[in-house]
Structure 1
Amino acid sequence: MRERSAIEERHTWRLEDLFETDEAWEASASGVTDDLPRLEAFKGRLGESADALLEALTLRDSVSCRVGALLAYAFMRRDEQTSRTEAQALADRATALYVRTGGALSWMAPELLALDEERVRTFLDEKSDLALYRFSLEEIFRARPHVLSAPEEALMAGMGEMAQTADNVFSMLTNADMRFPVIKDEKGIEVELSEERYSRFLRSQDRRVRREAFEGILGTYRNFRNTLAASYGGSVKHDLFVSRARGYGSCLEAALDGNAIPLSVYHSTVETVRRRLDALHRYVALRKEVLAVDELHMYDLYVPLVADVDKTYDYEEALDLVRRGLRPLGDDYGALLDEGFRNRWIDVYENRGKRSGAYSWGNYGVHPYVLLNYGGTIRDVFTIAHEMGHALHRFYSDRDQPYVYSSHTIFLAEVASTTNEALLLRHLLDEAKDGRERLYLLNYSLEQIRTTLFRQTLFAEFELEVHGRAEAGEPLTPESLETLWMELNRAYYGPAVVDDLLAGEWSRIPHFYNAFYVYQYATGYASALYLSKKIVEEGLPALDRYRRFLSRGSSAPSIEILRDAGVDMTLSAPMEAAIDIFEDHLTEMEKLVAAGEHRKREGNGR
């Protein structure tokens, strides 16, 4: 595992674009601290005049934007090397300032709700600069039943730092303190396991490597089962407290209401996928046939079924492949990709202590950033396309919206990223040179839908059941969580052997600390498959709709923004269409397997 100092500068992100130095960060933090009393001075004055309301909202946005930059810088510095105490301290201070700012703003929503709505609308009509806040204020009024009194809102805001405890414990335990065993790779070389290497080892053609990686990672998590269950249980209890304090009927309702997502969208996603699990069972059976194993274990689910086409790509090759795959999005989009690739928006390689996984982050007024742990696989190439989809979604929204509407909602967050993936996959399928390469890409497509649509919906079922049990007063023990996880995996993966160690797999899913987030991977992927198909087939009209989608931020209800782009997620049709694509690709793959394409060797046809 390389140290941070061994990574070339050109492969690290340039956080100086946010703050030149830590001293500049300190100066900005001091400025925010000085402005908090100014914010609180508007308490009791919002209904005084249109000018007073505009001035208060403008100052709120200024402070919130600066706090966002402080958070982004501090947390990205921490994520470079999570064991560095000075970086942890900076992130803690940023969190504390974020919570303090929330407290300083906590009175604003209750005071707005106490105003006469007609008086506020009169303000909006009489002052043009205030009119841009119309939708934002309407959203506040929509939340009226769940906003508490000013003192109660202050208490809720003050809990913000404590509310992060469970997630922080999980992050520190799994990224900084937890040590995984050493296994031997395909060449017999001893390699220390990590989360990133685990993903690669599960794709190894050597079954011994896959099994040992599976046992090493999940065996380590099992050693901490009580701690991890307590940590996750604390997160769920926080969700339950907030939902009840705000008068919601359930944790799910509380989580979805912020973006005005109907409960039917969540339930329809789960029900549609459950109804179509026969397609996933067919794929699992085909995987068992191609691998020629007596029993298909959970560590056999990720290995590519066509080994010889399992290429690796150096980073520059990967960037070029992403550029070509995303050409249907136009020259403007391509130019922005190049700007990000050239100008150190991206932190590329894994180093000791670096946060695992990948993400995009940024702040209004500064270009977005991307964290990778690039390893050279086709999956890593798709991760570049995915995270740059997030990044450019933010870029377009920041460019075309005022700060108050610049951040797109979580419900829309995965659409642009997975549209990029879908376009890249289409490009690769179009360029496939023979049946064997096409078989490999079809397998990749099936894996994308399995892991993004089916697996994330399994996660969504898990969250729904866990929160339901908490709402019913049932304890969340390691045993109960493990039993539920095993039951769901047996239902989803039918013909496969659900290994005992899989029982603790739930405990390594970081997204569970952001309740009811994961279902949006499934809805986002279904939307992306539809949008990418329309962009390729219709050209400019579909592309114009898509560009408008990228630029709208949160300036309208999420369901409406997506519907205007052409996808109505209040219906089951988009999810059904995505599973239809899965079955179409599966049928073609079954035919290629029957023809023996999977047995041929690249270059000699045998």
Structure 2
Amino acid sequence: MVHSPLKLDTPQEWDLSDLYTDFDDPRLVEDLDSLQQTANQFRQQYQGKVKQLTPEQIVTCLQDLEQIYQKSGYLYAYPSLVFAADTRNTEAKQFLDKVMEALTGVDNQLLFFDLELKSLDSEAFSQLQASPALKNYQHHLIRIAELRPYKLSEEVEQTRNRDSLTGRQAFIQLRSVHLGEQEYPDVTTPEGKTANTEAELSALLYHPQEEVRHNAYSAVRTVIKEHNLLYGYILNAIAQDHKIENQMRGYPSTLQKQLIEDQVSEPVFTAIMEGTASRFDLFQRYYQLKSQEIGQKIRICDLYAPWTTQATPPLSYQSGVELLLAALEKFDINYARRAEEFFLKSWIDAKVRPGKRGGAFCAYSHGKHSYLLLSYTEDYNSVFTLAHEMGHALHFAWIDETQSYLNSNPPMVLAEIASTFNELLLLDSLLESAADETIRKSLLTRQLEDQLNLLFRQSTISRLELAVHQRASEGSFDHLFINEKWMELYQLLCGDSVELLADHQYDWARIGHIFFKPFYCYQYTASNIVSLACYQKYRQVGKAFIPGYLELLASGGSQDQVQALRQYVDVDLEDPATIRGALDYVEGLISQLETLI
């Protein structure tokens, strides 16, 4: 076990003072005012003159913009993090609205610069790209060039930004606020523990008793069902707004828009979707095996049921943190020490509270560090969630040391690699130290269920989005359409191996990404495929893999992600064999499991 000075008796709450102390902190208003003034000065100095600037002057402009964007990030991060920790905090919500309105004004002041760059003729733009002065911004310029065909006039771009506050973004926020206000029925376990938050009820899906799992599942879905019409209305409004934007900019579809934004080619997307669809048999084989072992038909609420009725002892926060740090230390001591800093400095909010946003995330502020949010429920699932989000945090820590703001945002496939890699490190460490065969089997099945989620559930969510946005392109839709399509797609995935309960038709409303950012979820699948390829290479070559891996993390958004994967870790995302390798890995785990039962 890693030696640590940490004393964490209970899940901690984060300390946001590296951003601001509270909403009375005078720096909040001062920074907001100075930011708006700086943006206005930038506009006055450069608007209409970009085509006359030398490459060296363009570099100065980009550096000025990076400072503005960095401070904008701090101003947005503080109220949004306070709000995420307590969605019932009206002061946080009001200040977040104020900041978003102000930052939209700042963005509108600065829009001209990118638009004027995009308006340069091909020869002038090529000369900029060839300039040694702009070497560090090459990928940023490439991205600008890729988006040139889809630009609008400055006036229209500004209008789109302003309208988003009361349009798409407002609907996204409405769902978050509304969901955070919900109260769930109490579910009491035979052990006498009562759960009534979304995080606690979700944790009970791992309970050994089928009645407890069903009650916990129903408690959440019954509430979601009550608001099925509202969430369907919200998703339709968001999808229609994407359609309008597509028409205005000339994107063929919402999918095409997101693939361009996320730097993923359509053949890669298609290969991932077709590759996973061709192996639904793996999902079904696993759950047929589980059904035989536990002696009951697997219902959708039983997906995470333990393979044994023997309850796993609670895993304290202190123990969970120590297990994670020990796993990271086996990989690299410096990697583990960077992770430890997040606990020592309270950059993590892990406490379970009513009103806290569901799920987990890592929020990064360039020039500072990340903050992690999760709800720790004293089980192995929580430890793996912590490992996942810490992977993001460590990824950004390496980026922050090497990249300026405009190169700091990794494409989505790269953005999920470190998180999954961390989970694999944790799994292997736990398997090595587990003396109890029951725990070993539990860890193996947990990894399998995690892989099945990443490869098949996440890609199924994107299949739902394909249907939703195709329907939106033809006209509006309602909650009934989404319910029916979700059940149809899940039935294809599950076959006869899992019984779908009626309430599953409402479950899509719990998936935040389909509201926040279309076609995000297949990228979990893509990143998992790449992470498995990276991890297999690490297992093959050992410590020699680490320098290239850390260089991959540090590259951030400074280059093409397919090229970066080839250069640093010799993984080819465009090679179908990489996808087959991930599916073969899962099939191998199932075969291993079959030998244990």
> 1:414 offset after TM fit, Å?
0.9
Asked if 1:485 is matched to 2:486, the reply is yes
1:116 counterpart (118, 121, 124) = 121
Once residues 436 and 365 of structure 2 are traced to their aligned partners in structure 1, the CA distance between those partners, rounded to angstroms, is 45
Q: Helix, strand or coil for the counterpart of 2:187?
A: strand
Shift of 1:97: 2.1
Which of 148, 170, 185 is the equivalent residue of 1:144?
148
Report the alpha carbon displacement of residue 567 of structure 1 after superposing the two structures with TM.
2.2
Whether the 8 Å contact between 2:187 and 2:201 is mirrored in structure 1 is: no
Q: Which moved more, 1:7-16 or 1:17-26?
A: 7-16
Q: 1:123 & 1:484 partners in 2: Cα distance?
A: 48
Task: Tell me how far apart the structure 1 counterparts of residues 42 and 331 of structure 2 sit (CA, whole Å).
Answer: 42
In structure 2, distance between residues paired with 1:572 and 1:242: 33
The answer (yes or no) to whether the contact 1:239–1:515 under 8 Å persists in 2 is no
Pairing 1:518–2:521 present: yes
- Number of equivalent positions: 582
Deviates more, 1:113-122 or 1:328-337: 113-122
3-state SS of 1:369 partner: strand
Instruction: Return the match for 2:41 from 34, 38, 41.
Output: 38
C-alpha spacing 1:464/1:13, structure 2 compared with 1 (3 Å): same
1:126 CA displacement: 6.4
Q: Contact 1:328/1:535 (CA < 8 Å) preserved in 2?
A: no
Contact 1:111–1:150 under 8 Å retained in 2: no
Q: Which amino acid aligns with 1:558?
A: Q
Instruction: Tell me: CA distance 1:166–1:572, structure 2 relative to 1, closer, same or farther (3 Å).
Output: farther
Post-superposition offset of 1:72: 0.9
1:489 alignment partner AA? Y
Secondary structure in structure 2 of the residue aligned to 1:107: helix
Task: State the shift of 1:122 in Å.
Answer: 4.4
AA aligned to 2:109 is A
1:589 corresponding residue in structure 2: 593
Contact 1:47–1:53 under 8 Å retained in 2: no
Q: Match for residue 207 of structure 2?
A: 204
Q: Could you tell me which of 432, 435, 440 is aligned with 2:434?
A: 432
Query: Could you say which residue in structure 1 is the equivalent of 2:352?
Result: 350
* Native 8 Å contact 2:118 2:148 kept in 1: yes
More divergent stretch after superposition (22-31 vs 510-519): 22-31
**Cα separation, 1, equivalents of 2:422 and 2:493:** 27
SS in 1 for 2:51: coil
**Structure 1 match to 2:364:** 362
AA matched with 2:233: A
The answer to whether the aligner puts 1:218 opposite 2:184 as a matched pair is no
- Structure 1 equivalent of residue 463 of structure 2: 461
Give 1:515's aligned amino acid: P
The alpha carbon displacement at 1:56 in A equals 2.6
Residue in 2 that maps onto 1:255: 258
Offset at 1:125? Answer: 6.3
Stretches of structure 1 that go unaligned for 5 or more consecutive residues are: 1-6, 594-606
Q: Which residue matches 1:276?
A: 279
Kindly provide the amino acid, as one letter, of the partner of residue 26 in structure 1. Answer: V
Q: Does 1:184 align with 2:185?
A: no
Matched-pair contact (CA < 8 Å) for 1:397–1:550 = yes
The answer on whether the counterparts of 1:268 and 1:572 sit within 8 Å (CA) in structure 2 is yes
On the 8 A contact 1:259/1:557 being kept in 2, the answer is no
CA distance in 2, matches of 1:209, 1:337: 35
Report the identity percentage: 27
- Paired residue for 1:72? 77
Q: Which residue of 2 aligns with 1:3?
A: none
Give the C-alpha shift of residue 541 in structure 1. 2.9
Aligned AA (1:483): E
Following superposition, the deviation at residue 369 of structure 1 comes to 1.0
Paired residues of 1:183 and 1:213 also in contact (CA < 8 A):
yes
**Deviation digits for residues 75-112 of structure 1, max 9, x if unmatched?**
01112211111111111122112211221122222211
Partner of 1:160: 164
2:394 is matched with 392
**RMSD over aligned Cα, in angstroms?**
2.0
Change (3 A) 1:122 1:585: closer
Partners of 2:19 and 2:588 in 1: CA distance: 46
Secondary structure of 1:15's aligned partner: coil
Higher alpha-carbon deviation: 49-58 or 400-409 = 49-58
For structure 2, the 5+ residue unaligned runs are 1-7
Equivalent position SS for 1:366: coil
**C-alpha separation between the residues in 1 aligned to 2:131 and 2:484?**
60
Q: CA deviation at 1:529?
A: 1.5
Map 1:498-513 → 2, pairs under 5 A: 498-513=500-515
After the TM superposition, which parts of structure 1 deviate over 6 Å for at least 4 consecutive aligned residues? 7-10, 124-127
Alignment partners' CA distance in 1, 2:96 and 2:566: 38
Does the 8 Å contact 1:106/1:157 carry over to 2? no
- Note the 1:568-583 alignment, pairs <5 A: 568-583=572-587
Aligned residue in 2 for 1:319: 321
Over 3 Å counting, the alpha-carbon distance change for 1:120 and 1:579 in structure 2 is: closer
Deviation at 1:147, TM superposition (A): 1.3
Equivalent residues of 1:49, 1:123 under 8 A apart: no
